[in-house]
Amino acid sequence: MKVIMEDIISLSKRRGFVFQTSEIYGGLAGFYDYGPLGVELVNNLKSAWWDAMVKEKTNIYGIDGAIIQNPLLWKASGHIDGFSDPMVEDVVTHKRYRADHLAGIDSNDLVELERLLKNVKSPDGNKLSQPRYFNMMMQTWIGPVTDDAAKAYLRPETAGAIYTNFLNVKESMRAKLPFGIAQIGKAFRNEISPRDFIFRVRELEQMEMQYFIDPKIEEDVYEEWRQFAWNFLIDKVGIQKDNLSWHEHEENERAHYAKAAHDIYFNFPQGPKELWGTHDRTDFDLSNHTRVSGKDLSYIDEVSKTKFIPYVIESSVGVGRLLLAVLCDSYTKETVNNDERIVLKIKPSLAPYKVAVSPLLKNKPELVELAEKIFKDLKARFGMVMWDDNGNIGKRYRRQDEIGTPFCVTIDFNSLEDDSVTIRDRDTTLQQRINSSKLISYIEEKLAI
């Protein structure tokens, strides 16, 4: 089934996954808010990543770095001088566009872009300016005076605080190589032309891990983290393997310091695009921070007594892109009993709501009373349980299908006689009777799959 972005955008707003930020004021390009269902799905994705990356590993430690860091950090990392995209401007409307996007190539070469765009008009049909570089760092100021001495930046990536805390983590946790530092947090990029819904935005959230190693083991470790990313997306997130592919960066695509770079691409509605990156950053980061800060960030091997700057293997995925991938991957239109339905076949353990509870008729007090008891029991165990008594039972099922709720529990008149309930499976639509005392264990077993 071909998923189109308009369907995902419509469902996201209609069902409370994603809203345009400041919508009543006309919105703000490149910024979005997560609604009640979106924030639950996002939190579930972040928890799954944190569990797999930090809690299940013995040598990876978490931090939460500040959004604003010392500007020298970004000088050392190369962001102040080199974090740029090629830009062109409509000479009439003054709208700005990514030059490489209009040219249809993945390149920052201004000469090549100027040649390709020589006879190209803007989307509004006007002449374009010559390509030039545009730094994507978002500036701010610290203190009451807005001068160069007070200039600072919203971080463009989360990794900076990981590198500057390398020694702090190593010493406080008595960590020995190899070890990693993981972080989930916001980053800000002043994108020239944010687009494709939440795929390319100006405020984003990243899940990153930097793994510090002896250079002698870089190839094996690099492959291990590539495999980790692939397995996580399939096993922990439930993304269909057919929607994933590997893209190896060619030499002209890689950052100048990167020895190797592989992205997992997902088949988004706009085509295969980057979802998760694994990169061999060599010793670029710690070497540069040593040079600029004057602080020795080398490591001494206890056995060989050799001293070296650790290499870094990076594993990075954007939260928004992962959310978008899950919505696109799980979005399904199908016909069941001559009735078309939209269903989000999200992995049950990640679904915003795990169960919906309904009395068959909301005007029958005895049904409502029993349903409320079951609802409270389930909510105490699973947290996100929805009460749904609006409309006929078929409409309730369709509503829950559309938000990805794996199980619907209905209390009817037979429930009053034998304490059994009907539980319906989202994906198969099959229903079965089960004693209410077995509901929790039944759902626990299904969520563990």
Q: Domains for the chain: give ranges and CATH numbers.
A: 5-69+145-327 (3.30.930.10), 353-447 (3.40.50.800)
User: What pLDDT sits at residue 137?
Assistant: 87
User: What pLDDT sits at residue 215?
Assistant: 96
User: What pLDDT sits at residue 449?
Assistant: 79
Residue position matching structure tokens 């900076």:
160
User: What pLDDT sits at residue 422?
Assistant: 97
Residues of the chain with pLDDT under 50: none
User: What pLDDT sits at residue 248?
Assistant: 96
User: What pLDDT sits at residue 239?
Assistant: 98
Confirm if 182 and 150 have CB atoms less than 8 A apart.
no
User: What pLDDT sits at residue 145?
Assistant: 86
φ, ψ at 177 (rounded to 5°): -65, 145
Exposure class string for 225-239: b at 16+ Cβ within 10 A, else e:
bbebbbebbeebbbb
Confirm if 157 and 138 have CB atoms less than 8 A apart.
no
